[in-house]
Structure 1
Amino acid sequence: MGEEALLFGVWRSPFSRRVEVALKLKGVQYKYIEEDLGNKIALFLQYNPIHKKVPVLVHNGKPIVESQVILEYIDETWQGYLLLPKDPYERANARFWAKFIDDKCLPAVFKAYWGEEKEREKAVEEACEILKFLEEELKEKRFFGGESIGMVDIIANIIAFWFGGFEEAWGTKLLTREKFPKLTNWSHEFVSNSVIKECLPPREKLIAHFRNSFGGANASK
């Protein structure tokens, strides 16, 4: 079709990996450009001059930013695999949970891992309370999207894979099978998918990065 898709990302960013998963599930051919957030190239800044963050998808010369916005764009632009359900109510529900993960879940979890030591115990409790909503939302489903991976699953990639790296790097344990059996089973199912495996960063390299720095300050959404 003569279309050109470029993706600016960072290897360690779960937000960049979200977009890679969506493109691969759709079967879209794209060129990946690894961005150095400490020395951003002019082309990247041209495409995202406001936030200056990854990911950025450039389709036929037009940039789209913010991972959730990009995922919806991908779903609406390319045929085939559905990231969002066809039913309007189910689509709205998926959007709600995707927003819940980014706006409520992740800030609480980051505070539990990186917050002040004296407030850590309370932060862990609060993060677990929020994670319980996701545990309940899974019900008996294989994925948040039902029998196949959907937008909410992709948004939750950080829970399925990156949480384990956080825990190994810093020792704070949130996602235990005792507390969250459904989320734990979902995480295993998600990362075992062949497409997802292609889009996960090297685990040891990721853990080493976490141990050396908090990272991710410029790799959000």
Structure 2
Amino acid sequence: MAEVKLLGTWGSPFSLRVEMALKLKGIEYEYVEEDLSNKSSLLLESNPVHKKIPVLLHNGKPIAESLVILEYIDETWQNGPSILPKNPYDRAMARFWAKFLDDTLAEAFRKTFASAGDEQVKAKEQVQELLKFLDNELKGKKFFGGESIGFVDIAGNALAYWMEIFAELAGIEFIATDKLPHLCAWMEVYLNSSFVKEHLPDREKLVDSFRARFQKTG
């Protein structure tokens, strides 16, 4: 077994988080593509609680949950740039905003896509209010961590890329430049970073995947 192995799925923002962290640190790893409709015994054994990707295997020991894996990578490999801030307060804030993205904001987006009519209007307004918090956090910053890509930026890849595509297909606009200027500026700089662009999945392929998902649930 390779020293570092990643069990992931194409097109998953959670898998990409881990890949970006590994590449940022310059860590060699073996990538294993999982078919989530026919999960491998290795995945089921490595993550018996949630049975989900991504899973990082380091010397045969599994670590699950993408944000947990990012912290593990940062603490285990000191080479390369730090993913989390060194200052304890800044580290705590980075964890707070990453959890905000994964829990609070993701749930608000889910409610918007799952609702219709007045209920959807209210859900969309809630998303807008939550996005304002992120916009405010980015005032005077290039990235969430300052001048370089860090923990919250990597955690926010779904918002910057996946969610915009999903919203476009659903015919819902969430992020307008006049209302969220700092967030929009971050998205532009982040998505046009050579490091990020190199690792994003093909947009058209992702659009086709999302469209197929809409057709199944429509």
Residue pair 1:7, 1:33 contacting (<8 A) in 2 also: yes
**Aligned structure 1 segments of 4 or more residues deviating by more than 4 angstroms:** none
Match of 1:209 in 2: 209
- With a CA cutoff of 8 Å and minimum separation of 6, indicate the structure with the bigger relative contact order: 1
Match of 2:47 in 1: 48
Distance in structure 2 (CA, Å) of the matches to 1:49 and 1:197: 33
Match of 1:153 in 2: 153
Residue pair 1:24, 1:195 contacting (<8 A) in 2 also: no
Q: Give CA deviations for 1:101-157 in whole Å, capped at 9, x if unaligned.
A: 111111111222x22213111110001100110000011100001000010011011
In structure 1, the residue corresponding to 2:161 is in which secondary structure?
A: helix
In structure 2, the residue corresponding to 1:71 is in which secondary structure?
A: helix
What is the root-mean-square deviation of aligned Cα atoms in Å? Answer: 1.5
Match of 2:135 in 1: 135
Which segments of 5 or more consecutive residues in structure 1 lack a partner in the other structure? Answer: 216-221
* 1:101-120 equivalences in 2 (<5 Å): 101-112=101-112, 114-118=113-117, 119-120=119-120
Q: What amino acid sits opposite 1:144 in the alignment?
A: F
Q: What amino acid sits opposite 2:204 in the alignment?
A: E
Q: Give CA deviations for 1:9-46 in whole Å, capped at 9, x if unaligned.
A: 11111111111111111011111111100011111111
Match of 1:32 in 2: 31
| Count of aligned positions | 213
Match of 2:8 in 1: 9
Match of 1:179 in 2: 179
Distance in structure 1 (CA, Å) of the matches to 2:116 and 2:125: 14
Task: Label 1:27 to 1:137 Cα distance change in 2 as closer, same or farther (>3 A).
Answer: same
Normalised to the residue count of structure 2, the TM-score between the two structures is: 0.94
Is residue 63 from structure 1 mapped to residue 62 from structure 2 by the alignment? yes
In structure 2, the residue corresponding to 1:12 is in which secondary structure?
A: coil
Q: What amino acid sits opposite 2:6 in the alignment?
A: L
Which segments of 5 or more consecutive residues in structure 2 lack a partner in the other structure? Answer: none
Q: Give CA deviations for 1:69-118 in whole Å, capped at 9, x if unaligned.
A: 00000000001210011111111111111111111111111222x22213
